[in-house]
Structure 1
Amino acid sequence: MDENNVNQTVNESTVPEQPKLGWNWGAFMFNWIWGVGNRCYLPLLSLVPFVGFIWAFVCGACGNKWAWQNGYFKTPEEFNKTQSTWSRAGLIAFIICVALTVMYILLFALFIAIAVLSNGFHNL
């Protein structure tokens, strides 16, 4: 057996999986719902008027860390699997929101163009 293969096998079997503490789309998009579901209650601050928009970004950036630190998950594997599901759902929701916003803007521009063309430019 090659020495590199032995080292790689030993390294892969002895290094446990670590929790992934980066950006979480689920915490960003579903902030307070994600917080209650993960027994993290700081995301409830997103319900405060004028704070919620900024707090959503804080939740996306810090959510995984908060969820891991609360001790609800027994293993990093369980944590990563659960947060991966939340993140996937959040990313899908984000893409849908962006697509709907773009469609709304395009339809609004189309209606403006139709109104201008049907009434002429002198009625603006």
Structure 2
Amino acid sequence: MIPSLELLTWYYRGNVMSSGIKTAKPPFSLEENNSGRGRGHPVPRQIKGWSWGAFLLNWVWAIGNQTWIGLLSLVPYVGIIFMIILGFKGREWAWRNRKWEDLEHFNRVQRLWSVWAVVVVTCTFLLSLIWILYLLI
């Protein structure tokens, strides 16, 4: 595996002495995978960000990523607000609630969720538009 640029920068700034003793704690590296360990463990900075998969496919995404709090999006009125919360916090919760092979695997899976979310919403919109046009004609 290729180490992250952040880890290499940390290493070459002189944070490792010639004897190999680390002088400061490095940023998240690919070697320390703390996914699936729950709340008490830090989430890597690369994980944080918006999740279109969690926002658009909220309850399906929640089941697929073992993020059971996402099922609150099924509750009327609360669901609309919770969709936005899932969009903002979903990636972090998915990292904490499920064991991932590594950071690349996590990003690849979340990217697929985002692609499928956009595909499903686009197809739904187009089918609705076709149905409305059919009713009008």
- TM-score, length basis structure 1: 0.64
User: 1:36 and 2:30 equivalent?
Assistant: no
RMSD of equivalent CA atoms: 2.7
| Of 59, 83, 92, the match for 1:65 | 92
> 1:12 offset after TM fit, Å?
8.3
Q: Secondary structure at the match of 1:19?
A: coil
> 1:83 offset after TM fit, Å?
0.6
Structure with higher RCO (Cα < 8 A, 6+ apart)? 1
- TM-score, length basis structure 2: 0.59
Equivalent positions of 1:1-124 (< 5 A) are 11=5, 14=8, 19-107=46-134, 110-111=136-137
Residue identity matched to 1:49? P
Give ranges in structure 1 of 5+ residues lacking alignment: 1-10, 112-124
- Structure whose CA Rg is larger: 1
Point out the structure with the larger helix share.
1
Aligned length: 101
Q: Secondary structure at the match of 1:39?
A: coil
Give ranges in structure 2 of 5+ residues lacking alignment: 10-28, 31-44
> 1:104 offset after TM fit, Å?
4.3
Question: d(CA) in 2 for partners of 1:13 and 1:61?
Answer: 26
> 1:75 offset after TM fit, Å?
1.3
Residue identity matched to 1:14? L
- Pair 65,12 (structure 1): closer, same or farther in 2 beyond 3 Å: closer
